Amino acid sequence: MPSSYNLFLVAVSLAMAMFASYVSFDMARRVRTSQRDIGLAWWAAGSLVMGTGIWSMHFLGMQALELPIPIGYSQGLTFASWLAAMAASGIALELASRKRLDNLRILLGAMAMGGGITAMHYLGMAAMRMSPGVTWDMPLVALSVLVSFLASTLALLIFKLLRRVERPRRMGYQLAAAFVFAMAICGTHYLGMAAASFAAGSVCLTAGELGGPGLQTAVAMIAGALLVVTLLTSILDSRLQRAARGASHSMHESNARLQAANEELQQRAFADPLTGLPNRLLFEDRLAQATRRLERSNHDGVVERMAVLFVDLDGFKPINDSFGHAVGDVVIRKAASRLRDEARDCDTVARVGGDEFLILLNDVADEQACISVAQRVLASLSQPFEASGRRIEISCSIGIVVHPGHSESNKIVANADAAMYAAKRAGGSCYALFEPHMVSDVSEQLALQSDLRHALERGQLSLHYQPKIDGRRGQISGVEALLRWNHPLHGMVSPLVFIPLAERIGLIGRLGHWVIDEACRQTAEWGHDGLRMRVAVNLSVHQLRDKGLVDRIGQTLKDHGLDASQLLCEITETVAMEDIKAVQHTFEGLGDIGVYLSIDDFGTGYSSLRYLSQLPARQLKIDRSFVGDLEHSTNARAVVAAVVGLAHALGLRVVAEGVETERQRDILLAMDCDELQGFLFARPMPPAALLAWARGAKPEGGADFTPSLVGALAPL
């Protein structure tokens, strides 16, 4: 019987095969990547869709066969062929969901799939019951079975390959794979069809059953719709999964970031950002651990010790103030690393304040061991520092507490602090072992600090004046204003005590302004009383760094109607040396407005005269320590004589401070010293006393000295 093919249906069946293959590959991926229960759902739905897709291809392919007799298909066998397609798909998808797809699995899978496809096809053919029966070309049948097996092998291999291809290249690969697979399925089908021949005059016994163009369209549409819906669902699912993966990825990322931030925060919470050393918090934690450990172990009769060293840099603040914070930071960092070098690994070195460090020494043998560490630290920190091309020298003060022994465990740091203050008070650059009285010293200091803050408004401050005597003419050449604090409890407190305190608590600016104003006011008042004098005030380095100082002094002079040359500013040599730039700037400004300048306490700072001659000073005051030695030390005499000579060579007038004896006076006068100041002539005294003294009253405690030319303004 002649048979032909409806080419349109052949094309539709081919398209259906491709579409079904493409969707099947998608399914296979879904089954593999989804969670277990979701994967199972995809497997069931996938088997249905994939089976229906393949089956519809086959069914349409069958319909494409045109015979000159009416054709129909048995419902039962058609249904069985559909089930076969579903089973093959189910096996294929199950295999696809396996993690490992080795050759054996591929072989078994291909056999199952090939068997399923073959079963589908030949069951489908059997659904068309012919009389007489179909004659089969067996080699072609065998070929179709082989092709279905090979097609399945190929499909599984392609799928294995596809698993390794990432988006966006995957779509192209999947299309190509679908094409190959579709061609293979169609090959099986059309080969199987070609293997069948129908005898002339055959009739189809199932002609009344399934068949006809309506059914073809319905199958094509239903299968097509099923595939479309599935594909869309698959795409949607893949997007959702990607979004979820993205979300979990970004959650991972933000988790990691959170963790890093946490670590950073922890680091910050426990480390000093400038030096990287532990901060106070971490130090206290380690100290608490160490004390607990000691308490435990010392119970058993063994005495283990630890120690805390409180290290405070001396003279660090001026470095920060004058060279800037960047230089200060370098010094701190270098000091920190030197401290670290002096400590052992089991010790803790922490930075607990601007220039304050704490060292926790674990397992120390005795006090002597701590003293050795302190001495090493002192030696190490007194080595010059290099910062921004500058050579900076500092020292430090160290307070030591050994525990157990020196202090209760909750007061170790406070006591080390008190000991450090004691070392500072002793002049710095040394260590002090804690002693109980130091605590009261500290609380006294604190009380003094708060009292000092109110001293000015409570009227406890005043100026005393000490005359300077012109050596040659024996007359008063001026007075030095010296600040006094009359404390309600302690009485007169020495400026040597409260000036450094005022500097430390940032009060010196206010006090300094008051001194200048009061000295000028007093000088103007004396002027009205007919005592025209030059008044000297002492300036602290903090005042010199104040950019507004020159203007303020100019204004104060104007306010009191004083000539600028009536004011003389004294600045100690060490201060001048510490910050020559700031000093020079202010000195020049003061010189420009006509104020006189003096270098105080000369000889204590080891500075060269040549260096100091860069400053527009007019006067040099030799420190009283030299003057005190004059009578007994030839060395002191040689130094003073040399200083006087050099100062004169540089055009500076020389003042000797602390002249207490006539012998000293005579030596100094013989050396051609220009002015003398000291208890020999007069002690510092209140303004009224000074006026009386200047007018010829016998000075209290001073020598019998009467100024010969009261009121004259001797040239400096």
Rounded to a whole number of angstroms, the minimum distance from the CB of residue 465 to ligand C2E is: 10
* Cβ(419)–Cβ(437) below 8 Å: no
Binding Mg ion by CB under 5 A: which of 451, 570, 579, 674? 570
The listed partner (ligand C2E, Mg ion, none) that binds 52, CB under 5 to 8 Å by sort, is none
Handedness of CA 369, 371, 374, 380 (dihedral sign): negative
**What is the pairing mode between strands 203-204 and 130-131?**
antiparallel
The listed partner (Mg ion, ligand C2E, none) that binds 78, CB under 5 to 8 Å by sort, is none
> What is the contact surface with ligand C2E in residues (CB under 6 A)?
466, 482-483, 494-496, 499, 515, 538-540, 570, 572, 600-601, 624, 657-660, 677-679, 684
Q: Is 601 in the site for Mg ion (CB under 5 A)?
A: yes
Q: CB-wise, 152 or 540, nearer to ligand C2E?
A: 540
* Cβ(668)–Cβ(656) below 8 Å: yes
Binding Mg ion by CB under 5 A: which of 538, 556, 664, 677? 538
Residue 453 sits at the vertex; the CA angle it makes with 448 and 458, to the nearest 5 degrees, is 100
The listed partner (ligand C2E, Mg ion, none) that binds 470, CB under 5 to 8 Å by sort, is none
Rounded to a whole number of angstroms, the minimum distance from the CB of residue 482 to ligand C2E is: 4
Q: CB-wise, 332 or 535, nearer to ligand C2E?
A: 535
Q: Where are the beta strands (DSSP E) in 189-253?
A: 196-197, 203-204
Q: Is 677 in the site for Mg ion (CB under 5 A)?
A: no
Rounded to a whole number of angstroms, the minimum distance from the CB of residue 679 to ligand C2E is: 4
Rounded to a whole number of angstroms, the minimum distance from the CB of residue 601 to Mg ion is: 4
Q: How far is CA 697 from the centre of its chain?
A: 69
Q: How many residues does the chain have?
A: 716
Q: CB-wise, 613 or 661, nearer to ligand C2E?
A: 661
The listed partner (Mg ion, ligand C2E, none) that binds 270, CB under 5 to 8 Å by sort, is none
From 418-426, 498-506, 541-549, 563-571, give the range in contact with Mg ion by CB under 5 A.
563-571
Q: Which helix or strand (DSSP H or E) is residue 654 part of?
A: strand 653-656
Q: CB-wise, 219 or 482, nearer to Mg ion?
A: 482
**What is the pairing mode between strands 596-602 and 619-622?**
parallel
* Cβ(202)–Cβ(69) below 8 Å: yes
Q: Is 347 in the site for Mg ion (CB under 5 A)?
A: no
Q: Tell me the CA distances in angstroms from 536 to 226, 318, 461, 539, one per residue in order.
A: 107, 24, 17, 10
Q: Cα separation of 667 and 649, whole Å?
A: 20
Q: Which two tokens stand for residue 476?
A: 């008063």
Q: CB-wise, 82 or 498, nearer to Mg ion?
A: 498
From 177-185, 533-541, 625-633, 700-708, give the range in contact with Mg ion by CB under 5 A.
533-541
Give the list of residues 6+ apart from residue 602 with CB closer than 8 angstroms, or none. Answer: 573, 620, 621, 622, 623, 643
Q: How far is CA 626 from the centre of its chain?
A: 52
The listed partner (Mg ion, ligand C2E, none) that binds 658, CB under 5 to 8 Å by sort, is ligand C2E
Q: CB-wise, 358 or 659, nearer to ligand C2E?
A: 659
Rounded to a whole number of angstroms, the minimum distance from the CB of residue 702 to ligand C2E is: 9
* Cβ(409)–Cβ(403) below 8 Å: yes
Q: CB-wise, 104 or 496, nearer to ligand C2E?
A: 496
* Cβ(13)–Cβ(64) below 8 Å: yes
Amino acid (one-letter) located at 413: V
Rounded to a whole number of angstroms, the minimum distance from the CB of residue 441 to ligand C2E is: 20
Q: CB-wise, 382 or 494, nearer to Mg ion?
A: 494
Q: Tell me the CA distances in angstroms from 20 to 57, 60, 622, one per residue in order.
A: 8, 13, 109
* Cβ(11)–Cβ(214) below 8 Å: no
Q: Is 600 in the site for Mg ion (CB under 5 A)?
A: yes
The listed partner (ligand C2E, Mg ion, none) that binds 399, CB under 5 to 8 Å by sort, is none
From 48-56, 350-358, 410-418, 598-606, give the range in contact with Mg ion by CB under 5 A.
598-606
Q: CB-wise, 624 or 637, nearer to ligand C2E?
A: 624
Own/partner long-range contacts of 104-109 (Cβ < 8 Å, ≥24 apart)? 106/153, 106/156, 106/157, 106/160, 107/153, 109/152, 109/156
In the block, tokens 């532990």 appear at: 278
Residues that bind Mg ion (CB under 5 A): 538, 570, 600-601, 657
